[in-house]
């Protein structure tokens, strides 16, 4: 069966400093049987490969030049398409200890902020908290934190341009946390 592709060009959004995740997921949710997604981006979208892979899509990537990438997401013959991307709701998780580690990732291009945060979580002990400053909401990071069993809290700072996230190691969805000493 031949797959027809719906084009989603997020390069203008990324170049303007925006976050295209919602647009990509809307397009993926609107696909009909036998359709795939042709994504054009300004970087190799590694986190998205996992997100759409978990929804039953295989991918092929090629660099177009100038840092631009084309990714073809095709429906897999073997993996079922799930209904939702698994992004946790964190709600009230009690009092968190003060962050032991602080990162400023505002001047980094994607996916480097996510890579640095995930690497830092590997060096921390359960119950410890880190904070990170970002230039956009980390949509791709959130499901990865949940997958690794970490809790998070985040929102834009009053300046409206800085997103601050707190990550508690080993604290996703009902996992008990040690009391802060």
Total count of domains within the chain: 2
**What domain range includes position 52?**
4-75
Phi-psi region of 90 (alpha: psi -120 to 50; beta: other; left: phi over 0): alpha
Q: For residue 103, which of 128, 82, 133, 81 has the smallest C-alpha distance?
A: 133
Check whether residue 71 and residue 121 sit in a common domain.
Answer: no
Check whether residue 61 and residue 109 sit in a common domain.
Answer: no
Cβ atoms of 81 and 62 closer than 8 Å = no
Check whether residue 16 and residue 71 sit in a common domain.
Answer: yes
Kindly state whether residue 52 falls inside one of the protein's structural domains: yes
* DSSP codes, 107-131: T--TTHHHHHHHHHHHTS-TT-EEE
pTM over 0.95: no
Kindly state whether residue 37 falls inside one of the protein's structural domains: yes
Q: What is the pLDDT of residue 84?
A: 39
CATH code, domain with 149: 3.30.110.40
| pLDDT tens digits for range 45-104 | 877 787 788 778 899 999 998 889 999 999 887 644 433 334 443 434 468 899 999 999
């Amino acid at each position: 069966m031949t797959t027809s592709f719906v084009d989603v060009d997020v390069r203008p959004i990324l170049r303007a400093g925006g976050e295209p995740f919602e647009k990509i997921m809307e397009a993926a949710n609107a696909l009909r049987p036998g359709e795939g997604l042709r994504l054009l981006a300004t970087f190799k979208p590694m986190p998205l490969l996992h997100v759409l892979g978990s929804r039953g899509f295989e991918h092929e990537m090629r660099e177009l030049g100038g840092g631009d990438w084309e990714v073809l997401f095709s429906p897999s013959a073997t993996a079922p398409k799930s209904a939702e991307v698994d992004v946790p709701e964190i709600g009230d998780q009690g009092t968190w200890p003060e962050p032991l580690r602080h990162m400023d990732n505002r001047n980094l291009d994607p996916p480097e902020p996510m890579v640095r945060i995930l690497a830092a979580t590997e060096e921390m002990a359960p119950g410890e908290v880190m904070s990170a400053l970002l230039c956009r909401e980390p949509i791709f990071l959130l499901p990865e934190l949940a997958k690794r069993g970490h809790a998070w809290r985040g929102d834009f700072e009053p300046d409206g341009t800085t997103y601050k996230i707190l990550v508690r190691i080993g604290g996703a969805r009902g996992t008990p946390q040690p009391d802060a000493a």
